[in-house]
Homo-oligomer: A and B are copies of this chain.
Amino acid sequence: MSLTYFIIVSAKEGKNMSDSEKHLFFMQKALDMAHEAKGTTFPNPAVGAVIVSHNRVIAHGATEKCGGKHAEIVALHQAGDNARGSTLYVTLEPCCHHGRTSPCIDSIISHGIKRVFVAMEDPNPLVQGKSIKILQNEGIEVNVGLLATEATRLNEDFLWDITQKKAWITLKLALTLDGKIADYKGDSKWITSSQSREFVQLLRKRHAAVGVGITTLQMDDPKLTARCEKTFFPARIVFSPDETLPANSFFIRNASQVRSVVVLRGGEQRIETSSDGVELWHTGEKDPLRSLHSFVAMAHQQHLSSILIEGGQRLGSLFLQAGLVNRIYLFYGNKILGRGKEGLLFSSGLSIDKCITLENTEHLVFGSDIMITGKPVLS
Contacts and interface: CB of A to CB of B under 8 A. Distances in A.
Interface stretch (A43-51, A92-100, A294-302, A345-353): A345-353
A56 interface: no
Contacts of A346: 337-339
A350 B372 contact: no
A175 interface: yes
A339 B347 CA distance: 8
Contact of A350 (B191, B337, B351): B337
What's the number of copies of this chain in the assembled complex?
2
B349 A184 contact: yes
Given A335-B356, A337-B349, A344-B338, A178 B177 contact: no
A338 B351 contact: no
B370 A330 contact: no
Given A178-B343, A330-B177, A320 B338 contact: yes
A357 B372 contact: no
B361 A363 contact: no
B337 A183 contact: no
Contact of A179 (B191, B317, B343, B349): B343
Contact of A338 (B190, B321, B332, B353): B321
Which 4 A-B pairs give the minimum distances between C-beta atoms?
Answer: A179-B179, A338-B346, A339-B349, A184-B349
Interface of A: 175-180, 182-185, 187-191, 317, 320-321, 330, 332, 334-340, 342-346, 348-353, 355-358, 361, 363, 365, 368, 370, 372, 374, 376
